[in-house]
Structure 1
């Protein structure tokens, strides 16, 4: 068969498998149902108010308010009525604020916006979490138009998802307007990841989104990366991303027990360039162990950050292993 024919065959095969490769890359992200059901928990504001003081203490507070009004000239009957009316009005306002729909919609919307904001700012090479809507857009439009939440999900749609978020919220103690929110991610295998935050309704989910982004996007070990034409496996350290050592020979012995070794200068710099969100480890301003009894000191760039261990004596040395 002529060589040019072989080239055309290879070209067309590439065109055919390119979409499949792109789809496989997208499927690395855990696809999550976009609706987050929330269950309302105990009102800690009212609970604290009811039980933080004894009944006798509450009676003393009420009596003090009545006496204060009487000193201002109110008759005793009217003074008691005024105190009771103020107390009832406060309870009514709190009941109105806590009743009705809307809190779950606010928490869901602000969480998804905050999580997407982290992804836009950091832009990791591979997104680990992604919201996926298995419904047709026409169904979504009808649901939103009718002022309803997207809630329908059958077995066929579940097959296209890898997990679901659900959460709880409670009005926080102290009656300062805070809410206590827990968020749980359950995947298809039944494994559950739980996170908790407390703050104002409009901002609490931003902190939760940060926790979740860091947990799922931060490098997990061992991490396999491509360096040039070869693969490199970043092993980390025993039980952690990196560890500390008094000298490089000690670190080399640890790496040997992990069937690995200390990185070269090129490997260390490349893993640093990948960063904490793309399978690597950021050096920051620490001193790192290298092969051949050398260290890498980012704060000592001149003439070179590669130094002998004697030049950084007394300073803490960080290390991780590769293979």
Structure 2
């Protein structure tokens, strides 16, 4: 296969990506209580004979410690009843949905505080007037009703599910589903303590909507640069910068030079740019394909491939 045919094949295989749009989400997130995976795990982790063997062993240990037969039995029954009582209390899930909904929102806001963006994409929006919101809170009710034109007001409706995790140490498994106006869904999951589990999901939602997606366009002092990415629609990897340069030509673009790489990095991963980080990048320098090593600043981070230890380089194409 000649190079021209290979280039055409790569272009045909490369998917088209669109930058993430704004995501206005209905502020009320109903949660469905799922199966108790902890109880399921306990029920099926031991056979009846294994359970009886464990109980017999514990009774024997109590009697060796000085307890009489009836005393040992009473103690075992008391411990078993106490465990069941605590489990029932934990399984009441009282106000768990409120906790999950509000911690998700607060964690997401904290990510926006820690990683500022010029154009925030994810926001939660009430579809009812403020008096209805306050009335629902005062009556201990879920906030808001869905009007018929919901998708004219928001981009996504969210709902979630939660259940006790099978490790039985107080963790819960949580899922969040975003349903778009086109009916397609985005799903996110987390596992952890109720007070922190939503930080995982908030992080994934933030990354889904705020991380740079290709193609995207940046303006440098009146000059427009389009970031094409690589044929798989993301930042690519290569073992040779010359191969990356050839791929970019097939895509109708080129590798960035060192100045462009640094300017694009200044935008950051959340504002339409691509951060350099600690990775070594394939770049262009005139007619040559070189590498940019951020850890080798003296005399310059621009090096030949033979001057650096790594043999795997990241790259993206621009035009």
Q: Following TM superposition, by how much is the alpha carbon of 1:184 offset from its aligned partner in structure 2, in angstroms?
A: 1.4
User: Which of the numbers 243, 252, 261 marks the counterpart of 1:250?
Assistant: 243
Partner of 1:283: 276
Q: Aligned in 2, Cα 1:71/1:228: closer, same or farther, shift over 3 Å?
A: same
Unaligned runs of 5+ in 1: 1-26
Q: Is the 8 A contact 1:222 1:236 kept in 2?
A: yes
Alpha-carbon distance in 2 for matches of 1:48, 1:203? 23
Q: Is the 8 A contact 2:257 2:283 kept in 1?
A: no
Partner of 1:17: none
Q: Does 1:217 find its partner at 2:213?
A: no
Partner of 1:5: none
* 1:161-310 equivalences in 2 (<5 Å): 161-285=154-278, 286-291=280-285, 292-293=287-288, 294-308=290-304
* 1:107-146 equivalences in 2 (<5 Å): 107-146=100-139
Alpha-carbon distance in 2 for matches of 1:237, 1:64? 62
Partner of 2:48: 55
RMSD: 2.4
Q: Aligned in 2, Cα 1:313/1:175: closer, same or farther, shift over 3 Å?
A: closer
Q: Following TM superposition, by how much is the alpha carbon of 1:54 offset from its aligned partner in structure 2, in angstroms?
A: 0.4
The structure that has the greater radius of gyration is 1
Q: Aligned in 2, Cα 1:310/1:71: closer, same or farther, shift over 3 Å?
A: closer
Normalising by the residue count of structure 1, what TM-score does the alignment of the two structures yield?
Answer: 0.83
Unaligned runs of 5+ in 2: 1-19
Bigger shift: residues 295-304 or 51-60: 295-304
Paired residues, what number?
297
Q: Aligned in 2, Cα 1:244/1:47: closer, same or farther, shift over 3 Å?
A: closer
Which structure has greater helix proportion?
1
Q: Following TM superposition, by how much is the alpha carbon of 1:219 offset from its aligned partner in structure 2, in angstroms?
A: 0.8
Alpha-carbon distance in 1 for matches of 2:184, 2:26? 16
Normalising by the residue count of structure 2, what TM-score does the alignment of the two structures yield?
Answer: 0.84
Partner of 1:22: none
